[in-house]
């Protein structure tokens, strides 16, 4: 009898937590508890991971099998309240779709610069001012960040861009027209510059 | 010590929390208390000092919320037409609903202890942590709870 009772207590049958989770996520967002909301976004350059805070876009990353590391970094450096909430990324997704379809030249998104500091942030903010259809050089953005001599450091800053595509580090090429490197691989840089009609020949 | 993204915690432990709640308060109410549990957890999460026993931490929150739900139900009995279909066998019920009704009728600490021990196979030491009690007290609550179930559920 005892054995029977204990065995029965172990069996509560299957539960489906999916619906409960969806309701929870909606309430977490309504209550303003999702400090970081993220979702995957499809693009012609492969899957991206996009994340927003109440201040705006905080991270856009080429997934490349690094999704977990991207989320861990957000938990560590922004807030551990990281929640998957695709609806919160609708605006980001729509603007990226339009950009890749050739129907948008400038992004109209708030940006949250939390993941950048000091010189890196200044280089990236200088980069963000280069419009669609134009190119800049490493020297130009180093100068824009207040240190014209720090060309190599400017390259490192661009490599640490937490919001590629939207903060257009792909528009920075080397003096003399060589492409230079790119966070997501130089083929992606070529793709983006071809899309914008500025690929140096 | 850095905490994992809350989404990971949610996905890893949502099933355990829902199982615990289904056993403790029934499937009908488990969904609401699941919301309460995870909202409370998300609120407190950034202040959590250690991320090494997140399941235990979530079960502790869930067990308190389940006890709150029991007390609320006692204060405001559900109108007859909304009563849980109870022992009537239907898809929404647990495999042996009569047994679980008896479990839910146990005193708070015995009920929590019985569910943690058998539905989750928790060691008495970990049960003590979840229930803020000694290992000995956890053992006693399981013993008393089982005794009562054997008397009432035949």
- Give the C-alpha separation, A156 to B39, whole Å: 40
Share of chain A above pLDDT 70, in %: 99
Round the average pLDDT of chain B to a whole number and report it: 86
φ and ψ of B96, to 5 deg: -130, 85
Convert the pLDDT of each residue in A62-109 to its tens digit: 999 999 999 999 999 999 999 999 999 999 999 999 999 999 999 999
φ and ψ of B143, to 5 deg: -60, -50
- Best mutation target among A80, A85, A88 (most B Cβ atoms within 10 Å) is A80
Query: Do residue A13 and residue B5 have CB atoms under 8 angstroms apart?
Result: no
- Write out chain A residues lying below 8 Å of B43, CB-based: 33
Task: Please identify among residues 78-137 of chain A the ones whose CB lies closer than 8 Å to any CB of chain B.
Answer: 79-84
CB B57 within 8 A of CB B124: no
Residue of B nearest to A39 (CA): B7
Q: Which residues of B touch A (CB under 8 A)?
A: 2-8, 10-11, 14-15, 17-19, 22-23, 27, 30-31, 34-35, 38-39, 42-43, 45-46, 94-96, 99-100, 103, 114-115, 118-119, 121, 146, 149-150, 153
Convert the pLDDT of each residue in A20-32 to its tens digit: 999 999 999 999 9
- Best mutation target among B1, B2, B4, B5 (most A Cβ atoms within 10 Å) is B5
Whether residue B91 is predicted with pLDDT greater than 80 in this model: the reply is no
User: What's the pLDDT at B85?
Assistant: 46
Whether residue B20 is predicted with pLDDT greater than 50 in this model: the reply is yes
Q: How confident is the model at residue A142 (pLDDT cuts 50, 70, 90)?
A: very high
Q: What strands, in cross-sheet order, belong to the sheet with A56-62?
A: A56-62, A48-53, A36-41, A82-84
B29 min Cα distance to partner chain A (Å)? 11
Q: Which residues of A are catalytic?
A: 169
Whether residue B88 is predicted with pLDDT greater than 60 in this model: the reply is no
User: What's the pLDDT at A40?
Assistant: 97
User: What's the pLDDT at B89?
Assistant: 41
CA angle, residues A26, A30, A36, in degrees to nearest 5: 80
The model's pTM is: 0.88
User: What's the pLDDT at B50?
Assistant: 84
User: What's the pLDDT at B27?
Assistant: 87
Q: Is the dihedral of CA A60, A66, A71, A74 positive or negative?
A: negative
Token digits for A111? Answer: 């940006």
- Give the C-alpha separation, B112 to B141, whole Å: 9
Q: Which of A5, A13, A27 sits opposite B149 (nearest CB)?
A: A5
3-state secondary structure B55-105: HHHHHHHHHHHHHHHHHHHHHCCCCHHHCCCCCCCCCCCCCCHHHHHHHHC
Taking every pair of Cα atoms in chain B, the longest distance, rounded to a whole number of angstroms, is 51
User: What's the pLDDT at B86?
Assistant: 44
Convert the pLDDT of each residue in A155-188 to its tens digit: 999 999 999 999 999 999 998 878 888 988 999 9
């Amino acid at each position: 009898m005892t054995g029977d009772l204990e065995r029965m207590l172990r069996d509560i049958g299957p539960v489906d937590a999916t619906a409960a989770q969806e309701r929870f996520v909606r309430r977490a967002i309504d209550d303003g508890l999702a400090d970081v909301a993220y979702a995957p976004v499809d693009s012609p350059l492969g899957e991206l991971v996009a994340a927003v805070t109440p201040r705006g876009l905080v991270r856009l990353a080429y997934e490349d099998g690094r999704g977990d590391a991207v989320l861990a970094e957000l938990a560590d450096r922004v807030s551990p309240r990281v929640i998957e909430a695709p609806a919160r990324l609708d605006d980001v997704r729509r603007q990226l779709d339009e950009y890749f379809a050739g129907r948008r030249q400038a992004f109209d998104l708030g940006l949250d610069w939390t993941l950048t500091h000091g010189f890196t942030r200044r280089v990236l903010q200088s980069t963000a001012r280069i419009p669609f259809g134009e190119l800049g050089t490493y020297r130009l953005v180093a100068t824009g960040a207040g240190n014209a001599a720090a060309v190599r450091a400017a390259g490192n800053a661009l490599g640490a861009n937490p919001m590629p595509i939207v903060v257009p580090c792909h528009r920075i090429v080397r003096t003399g027209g060589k492409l230079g490197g790119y966070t997501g691989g130089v083929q992606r840089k070529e793709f983006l510059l071809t899309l914008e009609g500025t690929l140096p020949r | 010590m850095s905490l994992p993204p809350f989404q990971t915690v949610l996905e890893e432990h949502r099933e355990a929390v829902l199982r615990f709640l289904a056993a403790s308060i029934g499937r009908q109410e488990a969904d609401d208390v699941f919301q309460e549990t995870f909202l409370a957890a998300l609120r407190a999460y950034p202040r959590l000092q250690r991320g090494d026993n997140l399941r235990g931490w979530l079960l502790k929150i869930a067990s308190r919320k389940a006890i709150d739900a029991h007390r609320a139900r006692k204060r405001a009995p559900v109108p007859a037409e909304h009563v849980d279909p109870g022992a009537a066998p239907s898809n929404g019920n647990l495999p042996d609903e009569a047994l679980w009704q008896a479990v839910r009728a146990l005193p708070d600490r015995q009920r929590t202890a019985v569910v943690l021990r058998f539905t989750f196979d928790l060691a008495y030491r970990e049960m003590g942590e979840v229930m803020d009690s000694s290992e000995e007290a956890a053992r006693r609550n399981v013993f008393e709870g089982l005794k009562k179930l054997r008397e009432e559920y035949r």
